């Protein structure tokens, strides 16, 4: 079985694929100092709930935007899976995605993996919106080339900034308010953050559509993307497995196979 690890700034996703289907997925808060031993204990317990064992895992692929985490994730694969992990960004790893921006080396591993995950499942040119610590908008041409995009602060960062910078504003949870006009402080904050982000998504998507010279299929993914389902007028598909699908495809393109 394949262990796919997607390490973001806020959360890290661990997913197990058996060669046919994804068997299980788990998320944990990203802590760059979490050791391989700590990862192994946590993962062992969760796998047991799915009748899985570390010894069932015969391969590993890692994507991370947190360089400090890579050392421990490599050690997890080496010491507990007895395999050398395939790491997105290593020179020998073929992603199968062209990069057409001014500084190709600046394209994040997570954005390129998303691009490949989108290409596997959807036809034509794509706009992929990933809602995480940052909200990214990435344009992928119909022939599979990363053309650039937009990086905006994520919705959680906006809430944190409101609470941190304004002494009288509380920390709140993200949720869709019933009305746009808030009748109290929490309601006003929830409306501003939630509907503000819906309009950010829809407004930037309209501008990208107007600027790009071909039709775009708009796909949303990421930890909080599902919050906007039914609220955004521009998002056409909500795809929770976009990133891990991209990781699986990278692994296959680099010679990976499962019995």
Catalytically active residues are: 110
CA distance 139 to 121: 15
CA distance 234 to 49: 39
Residue 126 phi/psi, 5-degree rounding, is -130, 150
Return the HEC string of 168-235.
CCCCCCCCCCCCCCCCCHHHHHHHHHHHHHHHHHHHHHHHHHHHCCCCCEEEEECCCHHHHCCCCCCC
Task: Give Cα separations from 55 to 45, 80, 106 (angstroms).
Answer: 13, 8, 36
CA distance 146 to 116: 9
For 95, the enclosing helix (H) or strand (E) is none
Helix/strand/coil percent split, the chain, to 5:
40, 25, 35
N- to C-terminal Cα separation, the chain = 8
Tell whether the torsion through CA atoms of 230, 147, 251 and 136 is positive or negative.
Answer: negative
- Locate all alpha helices (DSSP H) within the chain, ordered by sequence: 36-49, 67-76, 109-121, 155-165, 185-211, 242-253
């Amino acid at each position: 079985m394949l262990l796919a690890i997607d390490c973001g700034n806020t959360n890290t996703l661990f997913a197990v694929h058996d060669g046919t289907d994804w068997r299980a997925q788990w998320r944990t808060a990203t802590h760059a100092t979490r050791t391989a031993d700590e990862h192994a204990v946590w993962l062992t317990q969760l796998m047991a709930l799915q009748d899985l064992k570390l010894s069932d895992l015969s391969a590993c692929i890692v994507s991370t935007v947190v360089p400090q985490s890579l050392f421990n994730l490599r050690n997890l694969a080496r010491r507990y899976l007895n395999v050398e992990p395939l790491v997105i960004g290593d020179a020998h790893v073929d992603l199968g995605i062209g990069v057409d921006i001014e500084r190709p080396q600046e394209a994040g591993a997570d954005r390129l993996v998303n691009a490949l995950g989108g290409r596997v499942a959807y036809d034509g040119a794509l706009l992929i919106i990933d809602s995480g610590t940052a909200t990214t908008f990435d344009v992928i041409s119909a022939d599979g080339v990363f053309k650039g995009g937009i990086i905006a602060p994520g919705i959680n960062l906006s809430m944190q900034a409101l609470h941190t910078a304004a002494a009288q504003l509380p920390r709140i949870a993200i949720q869709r308010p019933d009305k746009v006009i808030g009748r109290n402080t929490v309601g006003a904050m929830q409306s501003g953050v939630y509907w503000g982000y819906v309009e950010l998504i829809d407004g930037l998507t309209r501008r990208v559509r107007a600027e790009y010279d071909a039709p775009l299929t708009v796909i949303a993914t990421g930890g909080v993307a599902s919050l906007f389902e039914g609220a955004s007028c521009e998002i056409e598909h909500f795809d929770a497995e976009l990133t891990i699908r991209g990781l699986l495809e990278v692994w296959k393109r680099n010679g990976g196979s499962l019995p």
